[in-house]
Amino acid sequence: MTKNTKYIFVTGGVLSSLGKGISAASVGTLLKHCGLNVTILKMDPYLNVDPGTMSPLEHGEVFVTFDGGETDLDLGHYERFLDESISKKNNFTAGQIYKTVIERERKGEYLGKTIQVVPHITDEIKKRIKAAAKGKDVLIVEVGGTIGDIESQPFMEAVRQLKHELKNDVMNIHVTPVFYIKAAGELKTKPTQHSVQELRRIGINPQMLMCRTEQPLPKDIKKKIALFCDVEPESVIEVMDSDSIYQVPLNFLKEGVLKAIARHLDLGELEPDMREWKKLTKRIVEPKYEMTIAFVGKYIDLKESYKSLTETFVHCGAWIDTKIKLKWVDAEALENGDLDELKNCDGMLIPGGFGTRGVEGKIAAIQYARENKIPFLGICLGMQLSIVEFARNVLGMKEANSIEFNAETGEPVIYLIDSFLDQGGNKQIRTHQTPMGGTMRLGEYECDTLEGSKLQKAYDGEKRIVERHRHRYEANGKYRKALEDAGMLVCGESKGLIEAVELKEHPWFVAVQFHPEFTSRLQNPNKIILAFTKEAKKQSDASKN
């Protein structure tokens, strides 16, 4: 335990998508493996209060924290790299900051003073940074956006002020590109120099530069950057693209990142134990086996919408020493009845989602997996549509549907959680009111597993598990008996709500209402998805023999 909390601020320059989140998470991973208590905070400069109402096509995945926060997808990286759960307080936006300050002003809490960016907005930013750091050895703060953006200026001013308040307990890392100009055959450092100049103009001097580059940085280039940007040569870190993001901490270690951080923050000698991390990373890069999973979704043009899921398959692949190839199948393309894209796959996944587009295609895919005995995992909407498909094609309820897609259906096998509560459902169910007026279940909920079920076996026999949710619709308990009599068992439930189902007459068909991908980490993959991949590998091995 350090005497004072150490703060590391990570900023980015020149352009976006430099990998600040992976860089911050990688530094955190190394420090944690040294035995330090580390957490990470993301500050987003946009005016949305949170990403909950933003399109996944624009923003990517909405990551859900254990305490029900709808946050930036970088928090998923933080959890996956640190192998621990972090709170919704570890992500805030400019919208939240301004909203809080304006609400206080309306209540008269500022006693009639003129409300300004400095000090009122910056004070609120600093307050939240310090709250996230409480009880930690190190807090890493990723500042969203790019240096020079008008939206991020209050955040940068707060960072500048904290340097004066916290003295030697603060370190600034700047991530910036070093471009290779092919025609000239040269690496160009000028964008990095200008980016650092902009940072210093604000009043922040970086102590480390992480230089994204497609070409190795020679010593003379590193010395040039160090000279013109006023940092130590050892603190100019080469950051080249890797075959896997999980190699980045190992690359940082070779570049001497920890030595520079320890020297600046007076952390003593840092020696991380990365043996398990190295073993798993090697399996990701050089796997022994290979198999294919059909991923039937509706946001396949922007795979960032499914970031936690795609990373979970990387984790599971590392644990079974297998490259899991995801075959991206557009659910809409299946609605014409041509299911050839689903053939020759070792397993099938139907992920979560909102809206009617592609729903009938997903139902057709589920029927194909059920009838052809393909290992199947449905998540959230994937579970709901599994029930719809079973009700239609096994129980003969041709009108079976979710009221999300047909509010007038005569067989509402999926309905709103409000209906469950109105019909005398367990009043202890914690719900969340969304800005658009809907009721959702967000965050962690307990789930009781059925004795002897595939679900319980996947979770090593645990009778009660905890997983995260993000949805408005629920399986209608009115149809439970009919489903179970026909062979679809309710294998998980939470205070009267159906949490998971599985098929008796199928090698491995499980569908869950929760989002297991939110709790998967490289060193601790989610158990139900790991069980699914193991079953798919059995199918793959059998098909090759």
DSSP labels for 367-404? HHHHHTT--EEEETHHHHHHHHHHHHHTS--TTEEETT
Number of H helices and E strands in the chain, helices first, is 18, 24
Contact 226, 233 (CB under 8 A): yes
DSSP string, 88-105: GGGEEEHHHHHHHHHHHH
Exposure on the CB side of residue 103, measured as CA atoms within 13 A: 7
Amino acid in position 10: V
For 93-134, write each residue's pLDDT tens digit: 999 999 999 999 999 999 999 999 999 999 999 999 999 999
For 490-509, write each residue's pLDDT tens digit: 999 999 999 999 999 999 99
Residue whose C-alpha is closest to residue 213's, from 193, 235, 242 = 242
Cβ neighbourhood burial of 538 (10 Å; 0-12, 13-18, 19+) = middle
**What CA dihedral angle connects 399, 404, 408 and 412, to 10 degrees?**
50
Mean pLDDT of the residues in the chain: 94
Contact 176, 133 (CB under 8 A): no
The residue whose two tokens read 């079953």 is 535
Adjacent-strand bridge partners of 488: 503
CATH 3.40.50.300 in the chain is located at 6-279
**Residue range 36-55: mean pLDDT, rounded:** 90
State the first-to-last Cα distance of the chain, in angstroms, to the nearest integer.
Answer: 54
CATH 3.40.50.880 in the chain is located at 288-544
Three-state DSSP class for 269?
A: coil
The residue whose two tokens read 């910036």 is 176
Q: Is the pLDDT of residue 51 over 90?
A: no
Q: Is the pLDDT of residue 213 over 60?
A: yes
DSSP annotation of 521 reads B
Adjacent-strand bridge partners of 349: 295, 377
Would residue 120 be called left, alpha or beta, if left means φ above 0 and alpha means ψ between -120 and 50 degrees? alpha
Task: Find how far residue 315's CA is from the centre of its chain.
Answer: 13
For 477-492, write each residue's pLDDT tens digit: 999 999 999 999 999 9
Cβ neighbourhood burial of 114 (10 Å; 0-12, 13-18, 19+) = exposed
DSSP string, 233-263: GGGEEEEE--SSGGGHHHHHHHHTHHHHHHH
Q: Is the pLDDT of residue 436 over 60?
A: no
CATH of 288-544, one of 1.20.120.1200, 3.40.50.2000, 3.40.50.880, 3.30.300.90: 3.40.50.880
DSSP annotation of 479 reads G
Q: Is the pLDDT of residue 305 over 90?
A: no
Pick the more confident residue, 445 or 435.
445
User: Kind and range of the H or E element at 177?
Assistant: strand 170-177
Q: Is the pLDDT of residue 434 over 70?
A: no
- pLDDT at position 431, please? 72
The fold of the 6-279 domain, in CATH, is Rossmann fold (3.40.50)
- pLDDT at position 52, please? 78
Listed in order, strand segments (DSSP E) in 450-531 are: 464-471, 473-475, 488-494, 497-503, 509-512
Task: Find how far residue 285's CA is from the centre of its chain.
Answer: 21
User: Kind and range of the H or E element at 347?
Assistant: strand 347-350
For 324-366, write each residue's pLDDT tens digit: 999 999 999 999 888 999 999 999 999 998 778 889 999 999 9
Pick the more confident residue, 10 or 429.
10
Adjacent-strand bridge partners of 449: 492
pLDDT band at 543 (very low <50, low <70, confident <90, very high): confident
Q: Is the pLDDT of residue 418 over 80?
A: no
- pLDDT at position 56, please? 67
User: Kind and range of the H or E element at 44?
Assistant: strand 38-44
The residue whose two tokens read 């940068």 is 156
**Residue range 411-419: mean pLDDT, rounded:** 89
User: How much of the chain exceeds pLDDT 90, in percent?
Assistant: 86
User: Kind and range of the H or E element at 418?
Assistant: helix 417-422
User: Kind and range of the H or E element at 445?
Assistant: strand 439-449
- Cβ contacts of 364 within 8 Å, gap of 6 or more: 334, 335, 337, 339
pLDDT band at 534 (very low <50, low <70, confident <90, very high): very high
**Residue range 361-377: mean pLDDT, rounded:** 97
Exposure on the CB side of residue 493, measured as CA atoms within 13 A: 15
pTM over 0.85: yes
User: Which residues are annotated as catalytic?
Assistant: 380, 515, 517
- Could you tell me the two tokens for 151? 């939206």
- pLDDT at position 438, please? 64
For 148-162, write each residue's pLDDT tens digit: 999 999 999 999 999
Contact 222, 236 (CB under 8 A): yes
**Residue range 384-412: mean pLDDT, rounded:** 96
